[in-house]
Structure 1
Amino acid sequence: MNQGEMAGNARRRPKGDKRHRTRAALLAAAREIIAEKGYERTTMEDVARRAGMTSGAIYGNFRNRDELFIALSETYWAPIAPVFAPGSSFAGKMRALAEATIAALPERRLAAVGFLTGRAYALTHAEMQARVKEVTARDYDAGAEWVRAIAEEEELPMPPELLVRVAHALAEGLTLQRLLTPELVPDEVFYAAFAMLAVERS
């Protein structure tokens, strides 16, 4: 491909693609800086500089630091999405959820400092806490719908709305403890914990 063709392809690339790449670069830079300094000590200007962009570029993508944090969480700490064979039992689905949680650990490790320092910040800032609640409630609603779609009510140990909250707390707790003390929380602990969620109600 010659330079003229390359330039033509670049001109034809949709503007949305450039915006997506800019946003992705800013998020990657933010994740790096927060891992080094923590959430509270990271500024929007730090992130723009690390990404090699202007302050205008970051404020054009994120209204403020809180919005950037929510986007980081949604990108690098997204809800776990297990894959399982059609027709598998609910116990099999819970095993797949354990496997997916384990598979997410390397990505979670890269984002853990940002996740934890951001949560600590939210605990003392009401507006941020309200935003985290809003995003989490949305994810819980989607999770409950997913549970209804993959399992019969009689298979479940508890109602879907409760199950999704328990599974989330379980996955978060296991993930953070594994990152902190890996030798104390081997894969078997994940499998055993999620297997308990497959116990049917009597």
Structure 2
Amino acid sequence: MYAISSNKKGFVLRFSDISYCQLYQKLNQQPSVILSDLDNTLIFTDLANNLAYINAIASVFPDMAVHAHGRLTQDSICQNFAHLTEQQIQKIVFTKQKLFSQYVHLTQPNTPLIALFKQLVEFDTQIILVTHCHTQRAELLLRHFKLETLFSQTLYIPKTNFKYPNAFLSIPQTERPIFIFDDDIVELQQASAQKTTLKNVFLVNNIEKIQCSTDL
């Protein structure tokens, strides 16, 4: 049976609780459109992301102690280091973006999901990447795992906006069923709220258990 989490806006099927064969049969019933997130959905990136941030902070502020539990983001840096100016935050973010390539080998592919997408694309399934990821980092990850040709389109959505309501405005109207894969339950709820008939949303569990706790 599918493990289903219900919410007021629809249903979320947990990708990790559905067998590969069941999911393939569900998605291959007719040509469809798949919208997929990148970070921690298609590729698990927490370790590389956190190490890049920790070393970026160390290079900008050598005496600053960093304790990272979960994924470090620009927002979490702002919250944990409220004394930093916007210019200092941007310097950390810029440095992190430059350092990320040094840790790309520590990222991990979501092998079952990638294999599924590669099979489906052979049967006229349209796969669109929808991400908050910085363009250069996304391109680096796709090159690293040789996934550049998997997607018919890539949509880079500003982090200030929810991904899928904006994606719906950017893709042509279609009669095909739409499936969404993401590791963020809030993003999936927003997608369901935008399209009230949308039921095919899959929550991808982040199997990468990463905690970084480093004093710099």
TM-score bucket (shorter structure): 0.3 to 0.5
TM-score (norm 2): 0.31
Q: Which has the larger radius of gyration?
A: 1
TM-score (norm 1): 0.32
**Quick check: which one's helix share is greater?**
1
Instruction: With a CA cutoff of 8 Å and minimum separation of 6, indicate the structure with the bigger relative contact order.
Output: 2
**Quick check: which one's strand share is greater?**
2
